[in-house]
Amino acid sequence: MFKRIDHIELLTESPERAVAFYTGVLGFRERERMRIPETPSGPLDLVYLELGGTTVEVMCYPQARPIAPRGAQQQLGWQCLALEVDDIDGALAVLDRHGVKAAWGPVKRADYARAEIRDPDGNPIELRQWYRR
């Protein structure tokens, strides 16, 4: 009945900045752009980005307001986008060359290593290298 996660929506006030980060830094490929002129929240601009069979739908409503930033305490709800990497240290080195610093990590365990970065809007992105599954 249920097959897979179809896409993840990312609402941003700066779609070009988000697209540049996800394509230029993280290696997503731009698949499609469209504009829906009339929605209950006003016009909607969409950009579909793909990486390894996963789609991120970058959305921009001109009237959207930002959500409150996450504090140190965990909150209920979706926590982050997680990307699997081949080499955590290599991935962090490439990101550093693009000016993207780790928010924390890498933390290395017996089965995996993980770290977290932030996109230009401050959204958390976990990087995970699996040693064993």
Taking the domains of the chain in order of start, what are their residue ranges?
A: 8-60, 81-130
8-60: CATH number: 3.10.180.10
pLDDT band at 69 (very low <50, low <70, confident <90, very high): low
Q: How many residues does the chain have?
A: 133
Whole-number Å distance between alpha carbons of 4 and 55: 11
Mean pLDDT: which of 38-47, 63-72, 111-120 is highest?
111-120
**Higher pLDDT residue, 64 or 54?**
54
- End-to-end CA distance of the chain: give it in Å, rounded: 26
8-60 with 81-130: one CATH topology?
yes
Q: Which CATH number fits domain 81-130: 3.40.390.10, 3.10.180.10, 3.10.50.40, 3.30.70.260?
A: 3.10.180.10
Give the mean model confidence (pLDDT) for residues 95-117: 97
User: What pLDDT is recorded for position 64?
Assistant: 73
